[in-house]
Structure 1
């Protein structure tokens, strides 16, 4: 079966971003290469997200059950489904759920995955499908949603230096770059899901995409980025704090929930994918950050150490005590 004949299931994971979600839905529903199914996974939003979705598809006053896949519409020969989670399991649970439903319920050939805060260019899917027979994992370039000349975050060129300019990156690599920054608009084949499985649902946020990426590599699936395929996404928002007299930077966000996930999940990744040496290096960096840069923030340092330990022993529960509601 050629790529033109393969069924495509788009998966959008959302939480409390109804305006951005509707923008994404509109772009996904109006691709040059049409999708067959759309699954919207709602992580127990509290901003009437699904009501807005129902209005968009003209299915007012629709009642659905939680934790159940429900078809709400069929427009342009595209079947539209929603799945409302009973609790907020984060992006990792959303992608896990969407992949599992598409694979087990809808008999999908291709899986097109994205968050709600970005959107694809009109020809994005068509360009990805052209290469899916050659690769099982293809990504579009992530372009700054506010400045289309720039990437959403710095990316390495062939010479290992980084650039924020899309044109400069294409000049360096050509049309295909041999690594990715998932999951923004990634297209996965059914073969990829069969070999690698679903996203690790326990990560909550941050790192689940890279855990899946490394598992793909272990199964001899080589992810690539198609630099002429475009997915618009907000620029990198995770603050980098200068440490060690400005010689280095460390990601830091003033949220216990997010810092737990950051420290725990990447420790897990370092442990499992041949990067154990990074664990003590990160410990030194964050010890400096909490005790020197943040002036003896022993509470933050202790939580960081506990989260690193969680990653080593694969305990994915600590963040749950900081969830709202």
Structure 2
């Protein structure tokens, strides 16, 4: 058996973290659980300090001195797991809850894949996906678990994965492509890591028999341009700033300047016609300029 280390990144969600840690203690095959605490202020660090095991599995934790976001947390956590001689690293946020057989189902594909994960379903309605999947080879986006499973071949959807929600990554792939971009803070770091993995020739897939349950995030994307497309408009200035900056950088680096320019036009349209807001348009342009300039400190002004 490979040595499998789970890495959990958490921030101010102690109740959810406790539930997840208890579940990980019930899962066979784990060698260790590592928790990276992003300087939580809700007692998370204190709870972790006195928790040395979950079930029979060793539990170790680090509380960072400042909140470095999901990107910084997974950057540090993945490096920590590799230093602790992990062959496979199981990456997850604190708000997901893998089914008891999730790891077992994922490991059935261990010889065939390099970067793979489960379906992420709505905890209140497990027949629905939390994050809709665009099926490979077309434009069809599916929301129902049944539709994904019908489209699967050999219980897999190749070329698609939803990181970092219960995904497995091999040490060999980490050695090849490095760690997540810690400077992204939130939003887009997981997508960039998947793009980097694909560019390196990694075998990527979603295993449709494996499941992680996750709170609903509502409808992703507001319709715009007469319903022809959608735009991710978050009420949080922090999330929107990071989305605008990091998405532009990802498009520029992986799809080219024309796609990046199209995203700028799409943003301008959205905040001019779809949901007019001069303040949000200025925020978007400030974030995009920062991304082009390689400035990854501007989001800190929006941290509470």
For the aligned pair, the TM-score class normalised by the smaller chain equals: over 0.9
State whether residues 39 and 64 of structure 2, in contact with CA within 8 Å, keep that contact through their aligned partners in structure 1.
yes
Whether 2:288 is the aligned partner of 1:305: answer no
Q: Note closer, same or farther for the CA distance 1:11–1:244 as it changes in structure 2 (3 Å cut).
A: same
Alignment of 1:92-131 (within 5 A): 92-104=71-83, 106-131=84-109
> Alpha-carbon deviation of 1:308?
1.2
- Alignment match, 1:36: 31
Is the 8 Å Cα contact of residues 263 and 308 (structure 1) preserved in structure 2? yes
Structure 1 unaligned blocks of 5 or more? 60-71
Name the structure 1 match of 2:251.
270
- Alpha-carbon shift at residue 22 of structure 1 (Å): 0.9
Specify the alignment match of 1:50 in structure 2.
45
CA distance in 1, matches of 2:56, 2:220: 42
2:209 maps to 1:228: yes
CA positional deviation for 1:10:
0.4
Structure 1 residues 44-103: Cα deviation after superposition (integer angstroms, max 9, x where no partner)? 11111133445xxxx3xxxxxxxxxxxx51454422101000000000001001001111
3-state SS of paired residue (1:131) = coil
Structure 2: tracts of 5 or more residues without a match: none
Could you say which residue in structure 1 is the equivalent of 2:16? 20
Residue 151 of structure 2 contacts residue 157 of structure 2 at CA under 8 Å; is this kept in 1? no
TM-score (norm 2): 0.93
| RMSD between aligned residues | 1.7
Q: Which structure has the bigger radius of gyration?
A: 1
What are the within-5 Å matches in structure 2 for residues 164-175 of structure 1? 164-174=143-153, 175=155
2:249–2:292 contact (8 Å) kept in structure 1: yes
Match of 1:157 among 132, 135, 158: 135
Q: State the alpha-carbon separation in 2 of the partners of residues 248 and 219 from structure 1.
A: 30
Other-structure match for 1:69: none
Q: Which moved more, 1:160-169 or 1:94-103?
A: 160-169
Which residue pairs with 1:87 in the alignment?
66
Q: Which string of whole-angstrom CA distances, capped at 9 and with x for unpartnered residues, describes residues 206-232 of structure 1?
A: 110111111111211121110001111
- Output one character per residue of 1:182-235: Cα deviation in whole Å (capped at 9) or x when no partner: 110001111111111111101110110111111111211121110001111123
Report the number of matched residues: 301
For 2:235 and 2:55, locate their aligned partners in 1 and report how far apart those are by CA, in whole Å: 44
**Equivalences for residues 210-225 of structure 1 within 5 A:** 210-225=191-206
How far has the Cα of 1:246 moved from its partner? 4.2
Residues 25, 56 of structure 2: 8 Å contact kept: no
